[in-house]
A and B are shown apart, each in its own frame.
Chain A
Amino acid sequence: MNGRDEMLKKVQKLNFVMIDTGLYLNNQPENQAGQALFSKYQALHRQAKEEFEGAYGPLTYGGINTECDGWSWIKNPWPWEVED
């Protein structure tokens, strides 16, 4: 697994905790432990996403840096692509 794949997997893992915890909190909105878990992973995800985008390019429009990279949105490998 190369550096990009490893860093992306970290973003995916942290984001999944947010997704799953968020679903739980929709029906248990007062749950303090759930809120703390969400908040912790929200910060970790934000940091990992910024690190990934700085190294390998944008995951969303918000991660685009035209000053450094130009219109990098179309340069990334697309998530469904595999190397032959």
Chain B
Amino acid sequence: MWTYEKKLEYPINIKNPNPALAKFIITQFGGPDGELGASQRYLSQRYSMPFNEAIATLTDIGTEELAHMEMICAIVHQLTRNMTMEQIKEAGFEAYFVDHTAGLYPQAAAGFPFDALCFASKGDAITDLVEDMAAEQKARTTYDNILRMVDDPDVIDPIRFLREREVVHFQRFGEALRVVQDNLDCKNFYAINPEFDK
């Protein structure tokens, strides 16, 4: 089970609201490479995963992604607080505002809502861990793209932290994949699926 810790993993204090940034940063909440999809992908894959190292990796990274989802929501919230109608119109934030006011709703930068199709869970240890490594790289690219468009140091700092965690998670999933492969037939990793065949 889970318990809530009443703190962010990394501090966020954005002095200047800026809904134009919130419009695309929200993609890391509800977009295809966002933190919501990441957390549910890893936590769903745990149950049939063989080998304790990989189960612990999925559990702990899946849990950390929940903390990252909270950080993204905190960033979007701070960027959209105390908005005037003029700021909303200037930033092109009208469409989101009409549907959700300044509430948090999981959607991609392009405006489409969260879709569970993005959290792959295939029930095959190699397939899922390779998926997870790619997912971390996709999220890292997304953070790199966000950093190209942001000039507020209060936003850059926590986004850089989140980007760095994607790199670390990629390394840890790579090690978990190695543990799985070390437990398989080295001449043919695909001779069996260790999540299904006994």
Q: A residues touching B (Cβ–Cβ < 8 Å)?
A: 60, 73-75, 78-80
Give Cα A21 to B53, complex, Å. 36
A75's contact among B3, B46, B47, B52, by CB below 8 Å, is which?
Answer: B52
Q: Taking A74-B52, A74-B56, A78-B46 as given, write out 9 further A-B residue pairs in contact, using a Cβ cutoff of 8 Å, ordered by the A residue number.
A: A60-B3, A73-B56, A74-B53, A74-B55, A75-B52, A78-B52, A78-B55, A79-B1, A80-B47
Query: B55: which A residues are within 8 A, CB to CB?
Result: 74, 78
Q: B residues touching A (Cβ–Cβ < 8 Å)?
A: 1, 3, 46-47, 52-53, 55-56
Query: B56: which A residues are within 8 A, CB to CB?
Result: 73-74
Give Cα A75 to B56, complex, Å. 9
Give Cα A33 to B52, complex, Å. 43
Query: A79: which B residues are within 8 A, CB to CB?
Result: 1
Closest to B3 in A: A60
Of listed A60, A74, A75, A80, residue having the most chain B CB within 10 A: A74
What is the minimal beta-carbon distance from A17 to any residue of chain B, in angstroms? Answer: 14
12 contacts between A and B (CB under 8 A): A60-B3, A73-B56, A74-B52, A74-B53, A74-B55, A74-B56, A75-B52, A78-B46, A78-B52, A78-B55, A79-B1, A80-B47
What is the minimal beta-carbon distance from A33 to any residue of chain B, in angstroms? Answer: 24
What is the minimal beta-carbon distance from A1 to any residue of chain B, in angstroms? Answer: 20
What is the minimal beta-carbon distance from B130 to any residue of chain A, in angstroms? Answer: 21
Closest to A59 in B: B1
Give Cα A60 to B47, complex, Å. 18
Closest to B51 in A: A74
What is the minimal beta-carbon distance from B121 to any residue of chain A, in angstroms? Answer: 15
Give Cα A80 to B3, complex, Å. 17
Closest to B55 in A: A78
Give Cα A75 to B47, complex, Å. 16
What is the minimal beta-carbon distance from B51 to any residue of chain A, in angstroms? Answer: 9
Query: B46: which A residues are within 8 A, CB to CB?
Result: 78
